[in-house]
Amino acid sequence: MPYGVAVNSPNPPSRTRLATLDGLRISAALMVALYHYTAHETASTPVWGAPRDVAFPGVSDVLKYGWLGVQLFFMISGFVICMSSWGRTPAQFAYSRIMRLFPAYWFAVLLTTTVLYLWPFLWKAPSLDAVLTNLTMLNTPLNVTSIDAVYWTLWSEARFYLLFAVCLLWRGLTLPRVLIFGYGWLVLAMLTWNAKLPVVNVILQPEYAPYFVGGIGLYLVHRFGPGDLRVWGLVGLSFALGAHNASLRAAARHLNPVVCIAAVAVFFVVLGVVALGWTSWIQWRWLTTAGVLTYPFYLIHEYVGWTVMHAVRDFAPHWVVVMVVLTAMLAASWLVHRLVEQPVAGWMKRRLPRAASGSSGSSGHSGLPDSPVSQGSSGSPEVLESPAGPPVAPVRQLTAGPV
């Protein structure tokens, strides 16, 4: 067995689709998009010519909580990254991240740059240096402004991937090792919250760690069953810290903290229902389509969508404009998936080392935004690993060593 692969159960899990995760992902993306389109406090006046309460009276009071969709994204990312990484080597994990994240991202950077150059109604066009730096996805640590503000989440995702890669390097994923990783990350993140150590805070990102770890904990429930109190302790601790962080964000945004805590509780309950297998009967094909649209939609919806809405806002009622632009962004996302993601990822897969295909032949999955389906070189969907039937209790541990 190659180095970095470890299992806890005597038989590898069978492969069944968790289609509900696709539905949760597109739901989170739509939450964020509706927030940006109707309730974003600083963008509302330049986009609509009026504050959000005037442009969308009453409705903005509800949709201004849509930013919490990002927290749901991070939870799904923790769940799916842990799932898709089980049984993989660090090299396979790295190649899968590259092939999943970069094709659509490169296109989104170039598309948004073009739109800002041609129609600089809202923001000035970025410099060539900013464009080139954004293409590396390292613009945030280099203090270069993102071409689109939504890219900030990608830096949070990248830091999560780097931390999780450490767990993979530690001779692979097993239940005890993932539990140590989860508890250790949460404890260290909270201890450094007020330590005034910027580098440590950048690495541990205490504001978002509970959501990633919460998703990881719920995947452990899914894989090993609900009988381990250590796993539920990890989930419970993640929820408590995540609720606290959401409450702090609510105060900074002058929102009701109870609503934010309730939203985080709903996220944990819904993903917990998925983890327990209670939604395994949901296998609707349209959810798969929705899932593959989520990442490109998230990348292109904000600045491009704002520019379009600014240009056509006087031609129809505001809600009609929002629905038309939302539909157009989803259609554009499908084109990005079909014409950019699939062919470029296939090209990369054929030219990267064999490890890129992973132990299951999958090209990888992205958390936020993570996809419960991956695309092989042929473009056909491949499902993630997921235990079928009752979980198998850990019996023995296989660690890699010399073959």
Predicted confidence (pLDDT) per residue in 91-150, tens digit: 888 888 888 899 999 999 999 999 999 998 888 889 999 999 999 999 999 999 999 999
Whole-angstrom distance, CA of residue 152 vs CA of residue 95: 22
Query: Does residue 1 lie within any of the structural domains?
Result: no
Phi/psi at 398 (5° precision): -110, 120
Query: Does residue 398 lie within any of the structural domains?
Result: no
Q: Pairing state of beta strands 373-375 and 381-383?
A: antiparallel
Segment 333-359 mean pLDDT: 81
Classified as helix, coil or strand, 151 is helix
Confidence tier at 175 by pLDDT (50, 70, 90): very high
| pLDDT the model gives residue 354 | 61
Token pair listed for 399: 């660690």
The strand pairing partners of 7, in sequence order, are 398
Residue identified by tokens 């917990």 is 272
Q: What is the pLDDT of residues 253-287, one digit of tens each?
A: 999 999 999 999 999 999 999 999 999 888 888 88
| pLDDT the model gives residue 198 | 86
Token pair listed for 184: 């250790």
Segment 371-400 mean pLDDT: 33
Segment 216-230 mean pLDDT: 96
Query: Does residue 10 lie within any of the structural domains?
Result: no
The DSSP code for 131 is: H
Query: Does residue 12 lie within any of the structural domains?
Result: no
> Can you give the residue range of the structural domain that contains 293?
19-383
Query: Does residue 394 lie within any of the structural domains?
Result: no
**Mean residue pLDDT across the chain:** 84
Query: Does residue 14 lie within any of the structural domains?
Result: no
Confidence tier at 374 by pLDDT (50, 70, 90): very low
> How many domains are there within the chain?
1
| pLDDT the model gives residue 382 | 32
Q: Which has the minimum average pLDDT: 278-287, 298-307, 327-336? A: 278-287
Query: Does residue 47 lie within any of the structural domains?
Result: yes
Segment 18-23 mean pLDDT: 90
Query: Does residue 232 lie within any of the structural domains?
Result: yes
Say yes or no to pLDDT of 395 above 90. no
Alpha helices (runs of H) in 49-204, residue ranges in sequence order: 52-55, 60-63, 69-85, 90-118, 128-135, 152-169, 175-191, 198-204
Say yes or no to pLDDT of 361 above 50. no
